[in-house]
Amino acid sequence: MIEPTHPVCDAAIADERRGERGVAIVLGSLVLLVLIGMAGFSVDLGWLFLQQTNARKTAEAAALAGVVHMPQPSDVAFVGGEAWDTARDVASRNGYPHTPGVREVNPSEVTGKPHQLRVDVMDTVDTFFMRVFGINDVNVNASAIAEQLPPLKLGSDENHLGPGNNAADDEAFWVAINGDYTNKGQGDAYTSECLGDYNTSCQGVNPNFLSPSYWYAIEVPATEETKTLTVQIFDPQTTASTGQTNDRTLNNGAVSANPHSASRTRFRLLEPDSTTNDPTDNSVEVCSQEYRHFSSGTYNPAWANTWVDFCTTTAKRGIYVLEVRQTGNVDLLNGFSVRALTDGSNTNDVAVFGIGTMSLWFPNPGSTADFKVVYLDQIYSGQQLIISLWDAGDLDDPGNLEFTGSLEGIDCDVQERNGAGVVTDAWHSDDGNLNAGPVGCHLDIGIREHNNEWLDFRFDVPASYTCTGAACWSFVEYNFPGVPHDRTTWSATINGQPIHLIE
């Protein structure tokens, strides 16, 4: 049945529907505007997040690049110095050239932390949809702090490393280097190309071989700058053993046809550079000299058992690097010492020490002897220290060793590795500390127990660790009733990257 229609009602209904459509259009437009605004806001947020990330990465890269030139010398302006310039240069290469008020890169020293560098980056970033709300740009800020742990000082902070003919030189070891074809088992971990046992021909390949084998530092402070610096070597030649204080030849089973006359102990002094943490990149040579074996025609008997002037120059502040290497395919031992004079005086503030590793010979340490191992500055608080001793257990009688000084009371773990570097006994507890109870680092060593082995000692330096001056030195106390055979090599490292970011 067809319903009758009413003209007035139909018109009202039509008007109501048209009104609803109008409201829907308005509401839809508002919702669309909100959605477009949210999308635009999201685009701006993503854009700003990207710029924030780029600024942070730039600050980190600039801090890591600049901190290798820290600490800044106290009398050199930080602004315009190498750390400052390097940080800004790296930031510019990353797309952040310093523009005051617009895009700023500001390196700064960290108060009380001379080995740290802070870099603050500020960038003015244009917006897109936020302009609708009157926000045309936003400042993005990021910061990063990088730290460079300085090289560990080994063996000494005096102006000499090893004794000489001066009664005041109280160090009980000689610095030493074996021939490049002397087997690693005779106590030199880095000079020998050979991985073999005592009194055998060169055999195998030493994975630790380095040439140069060792780097020693002559650190000149500001008080000694511009003075005449003379670096001396005590008995630098390889001298016959009879009647000599510190040098002796070991096995004669050398590889070359004329081994002794081919022997060359080379010393090379390099000027300080701005990357104090890396001794291998110093490039400006000051002096270089090769010293020969006593059977060579260039051997000078007047240089035996005395200090020999190796190099004289005008002192520059910083760390001079003394490279030492042995060539000639020879099987021998050369012991020597190093010292520095300023204006001819043996009384000065220059420090001579091993950088990271030392090659030592104990002519006769006696029943007990203390040796400086590493200068553990409080900057290393909270770090993990690894001290490695090569061939420290070649003994005829049982003995022991113990770490004292700044390491007194810090417990340690011990690990053993063979000559190829393969772990033979993983990290385990030491034997305690005889002097101070169970806390500390002590190890009993049986007859030939650790012959031709690495002994690694791991110390977790407390975050609360502090020290000043001589109290920062750690010692190893050797208690060897019998005379040790061969020699030993010491290395000390901070576990982890020496250059790193600080959270």
pLDDT of residue 394: 72
Q: What mean pLDDT do residues 100-124 have?
A: 92
pLDDT, tens digit (0-9, with 9 covering 90-100), for 132-152: 778 888 899 999 999 988 878
**Where is pLDDT greater, at 452 or 387?**
387
Q: How confident is the model at residue 331 (pLDDT cuts 50, 70, 90)?
A: confident
Q: What is residue 484's predicted lDDT score, i.e. its pLDDT? A: 62
| Residue 411 to residue 403: CA distance in whole angstroms | 10
What pLDDT is stored for residue 502 in this prediction? Answer: 87
pLDDT of residue 257: 39
What is the per-residue pLDDT for 70? Answer: 87
In this model, does residue 311 exceed pLDDT 60?
yes
Please give the share of the chain, as a percent, with pLDDT higher than 70. Answer: 80
Q: Is the model's pLDDT at 248 over the cut of 50?
A: no
What is the pairing mode between strands 214-220 and 357-361? unpaired
Q: Binning pLDDT at 50, 70 and 90, where does residue 26 land?
A: low
In terms of pLDDT, which residue wins out, 1 or 144?
Answer: 144
pLDDT tens, 262-299?
Answer: 678 999 999 998 787 788 889 999 999 998 877 777 88
Judged by DSSP in three states, 51 sits in helix
pLDDT at residue 21, rounded to an integer: 60
Residues 65-96 pLDDT 10s: 999 888 877 667 788 888 999 999 999 999 99
**What is the DSSP-derived secondary structure letter of residue 223?**
G
Residue 250 CB-half CA count within 13 A: 27
Closest CA relative to residue 299, chosen from 240, 254, 243: 240
pLDDT surpassing 60 at residue 418? yes
Confidence at 425, pLDDT banded by 50, 70, 90: very high
Q: Residue 130 pLDDT more than 50?
A: yes
Question: For 159-176, what is the mean pLDDT?
Answer: 70
For 170-179, 264-273, 431-440, which range has the lowest pLDDT when averaged over its residues?
431-440
Q: Which residues of 424-450 are buried (b: 16+ CB within 10 A; e: fewer)?
A: eeeeeebebbeeeeeebbbbebeeebb
What does DSSP assign to residue 4? P
**What's the token pair of residue 201?**
């021909």
Q: What is the pLDDT of residue 179?
A: 85
pLDDT of residue 254 exceeding 60 = no
Which pLDDT value is given to residue 107?
A: 96
Q: Assign residue 262 a region: left if phi > 0, alpha if psi is -120 to 50, beta otherwise?
A: alpha
| Range name among 8-17, 276-285, 367-376, 489-498 with the lowest pLDDT average | 8-17
Amino acid at position 20, single letter: E
Q: 431 pLDDT exceeds 50?
A: yes
> 72 and 114 in contact (C-beta within 8 Å)?
yes
Which residue, chain included where needed, has tokens 């003995």?
399
- What mean pLDDT value characterizes the chain? 82
Does 200 score more than 80 pLDDT? no
d(CA 13, CA 18): 9
Residue 461: pLDDT over 80: yes
Q: Does 110 have pLDDT greater than 60?
A: yes
What is the distance between the alpha carbons of residues 65 and 82, in angstroms, rounded to a whole number?
10
CATH topology assigned to domain 364-503: Jelly Rolls (2.60.120)
**Does the pTM of the predicted model rise above 0.85?**
no
Mean pLDDT of 412-422: 91
Judge whether residue 17 has pLDDT over 80: no
Q: How far apart are CA 369 and CA 357, in angstroms?
A: 20
